[in-house]
């Protein structure tokens, strides 16, 4: 693991998710840019001190030289600015990669990673964790089966309220790096949560953007990056969309919600109540699909670990991405197909699509106009 040291949030989530099924074990890490803090985390995780490194460069170089027992893959859970250099070096050293989102800082970096993944033949998984929820997979299956008919409207929103004050001025670690252009990139709200909206729509519906008009705002005085965004989207094929993400919506926690309206039916999924998927019809009662039942699609049923009626959630969704990435790694080692589409996890191309979305929205907001949003990432 690179990152996930003292004061980090997502690193512990990744470690729990990776270890949930007993198939993965963390054996090495560079957990902080501060070598002492990295060693502290290593001791807390009961790792061999010789495999707790003072820098990510040192870790990759040393592990690549091991003749036996070297790491199989690298999990990247750092602030955004390190995703690209760590991922590229790891891939070129012969390691598979699981990386947090957004994938890179720039579109050029994301497209380069697409080419590196193709050239090295390594597995690359991006942790857009919401695609790991069973009911999201059921929603995808309903769309693919034609149960909704022709898609007409998509409404996706992700409001939070945790940055409704200038929290970064207090030194709070998560707020500090997410609001810093040098570490977060060109965006805060879009990069942190808006990309989840974009990815969730594409995963469930398969729709590709054609045009967008975006309104990005920095509502808290003194903040360097946007903390609120509203976007109108036209999709190829005629569907229309509304995407709203916000970090200053007071009282909201992680209220990611998606509604998809077709010519036959509509679906509604809410991340804060993830085990239920609502499907609405014009001439019949509303249906509620529930996680863990035999009537679900194969991918949705396979993503559940415990019987119906017992709640599953955030860490389980992350774990599904790690599990599917591990299956791909094993398939690659055995000379079989190991594509992200086969094993159902977000790919390097999904990462490039997310970076294109961020920068297109920034451009649209700056120009105050509709812009071309179409994009085909490198294979």
Q: Kindly report, residue by residue over 329-346, the tens digit of the pLDDT.
A: 999 999 999 999 999 999
The residue to which tokens 């599990």 are assigned:
323
Q: What value does the mean pLDDT take over residues 27-35?
A: 96
Could you tell me the two tokens for 118?
């193709």
Q: What is the chain's mean pLDDT, rounded? A: 97
d(CA 352, CA 350): 5
Quick one: CA torsion of 205, 209, 210, 211, rounded to 10 degrees? 130
pLDDT for 336: 96
Q: Are 321 and 26 in contact (CB under 8 A)?
A: no
Fold of 10-129: Rossmann fold (3.40.50)
For residue 173, cis peptide bond before it (omega within 30 degrees of 0)? no
Of 3.40.640.10, 1.10.3290.10, 3.30.360.10, 3.40.50.720, the CATH number of 131-306+348-372 is 3.30.360.10
Burial (CB count within 10 angstroms: exposed 0-12, middle 13-18, buried 19+), residue 10: middle
Task: Give the model confidence (pLDDT) of 160-191 as tens digits.
Answer: 999 999 999 999 999 999 999 999 999 999 99
Segment 261-282 mean pLDDT: 98
Alpha-carbon span 12 to 315, nearest angstrom: 10
Residue 378 DSSP code? -
In this structure, are residues 265 and 279 in contact, taking their beta carbons and an 8 Å threshold? yes
Residue 7 has pLDDT above 90, yes or no: no
**pTM, full prediction:** 0.96
What's the confidence (pLDDT) of residue 15? 97
> Six-digit token pair at 281?
């019809």
Domain ranges of the chain: 10-129, 131-306+348-372
Element (H, E) at 184: helix 181-184
Output the pLDDT for position 88: 98
Is the confidence at residue 66, as pLDDT, over 90? yes
pLDDT of 274 reads 97
Q: What is the mean pLDDT of residues 344-373?
A: 98
Residue 93 in tokens: 């050293």
Question: What pLDDT digit, counting tens, does each position of 70-128 carry?
Answer: 999 999 999 999 999 999 999 999 999 999 999 999 999 999 999 999 999 999 999 99
> pLDDT tens digits, residue range 189-247?
999 999 999 999 999 999 999 999 999 999 999 999 999 999 999 999 999 999 999 99
Taking only the tens place, the pLDDT of each residue in 254-271 is 999 999 999 999 999 999
- Cβ 77 vs Cβ 87: under 8 Å: no
Give the Cα separation of 93 and 299 in Å (integer): 33
């Amino acid at each position: 693991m690179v990152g996930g040291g003292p004061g980090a949030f997502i690193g512990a989530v990744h470690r729990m998710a990776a270890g949930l099924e007993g198939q993965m074990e963390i054996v090495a890490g560079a957990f902080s840019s501060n070598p002492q803090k990295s060693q502290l985390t290593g001791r807390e995780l009961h790792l061999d001190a010789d495999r707790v490194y003072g820098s990510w460069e040192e870790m990759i170089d040393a592990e690549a030289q091991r003749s036996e027992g070297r790491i199989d893959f690298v999990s990247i859970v750092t602030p955004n600015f390190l995703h690209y250099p760590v991922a590229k070096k790891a891939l070129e050293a012969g390691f598979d990669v699981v990386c947090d989102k957004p994938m890179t800082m720039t579109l050029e970096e994301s497209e380069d990673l697409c080419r590196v993944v193709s050239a090295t033949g390594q597995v690359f998984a991006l942790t857009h964790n919401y695609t790991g929820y069973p009911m999201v997979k059921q929603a995808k299956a309903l769309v693919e089966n034609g149960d909704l008919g022709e898609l007409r409207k998509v409404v996706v929103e992700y409001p939070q309220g945790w940055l409704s004050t200038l929290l970064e001025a207090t030194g709070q670690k998560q707020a500090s790096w997410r609001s810093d252009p040098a570490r977060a990139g060109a965006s805060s709200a879009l990069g942190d949560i808006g990309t989840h909206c974009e990815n969730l729509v594409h995963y469930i519906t398969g729709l590709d953007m054609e045009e967008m008009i975006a309104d990005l705002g920095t509502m808290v005085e003194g903040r360097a990056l946007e903390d609120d965004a509203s976007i109108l989207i036209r999709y190829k094929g005629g569907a229309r969309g509304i995407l709203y993400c916000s970090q200053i919506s007071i009282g909201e926690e992680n209220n990611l919600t998606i509604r998809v309206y077709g010519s036959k039916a509509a679906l509604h999924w809410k991340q804060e109540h993830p085990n239920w998927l609502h499907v609405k019809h014009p001439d019949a009662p509303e249906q509620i699909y529930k996680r863990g039942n035999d009537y679900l699609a194969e991918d949705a049923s396979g993503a559940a670990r415990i019987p119906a009626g017992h709640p599953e959630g955030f860490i389980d969704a992350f774990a599904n991405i790690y599990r599917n990435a591990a299956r791909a790694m094993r398939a690659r080692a055995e000379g079989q197909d190991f594509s992200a589409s086969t094993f159902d996890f977000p790919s390097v191309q999904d990462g490039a699509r997310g970076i294109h979305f961020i920068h297109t929205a920034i451009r649209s907001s700056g120009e105050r106009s509709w812009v071309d949003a179409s994009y085909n990432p490198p294979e």
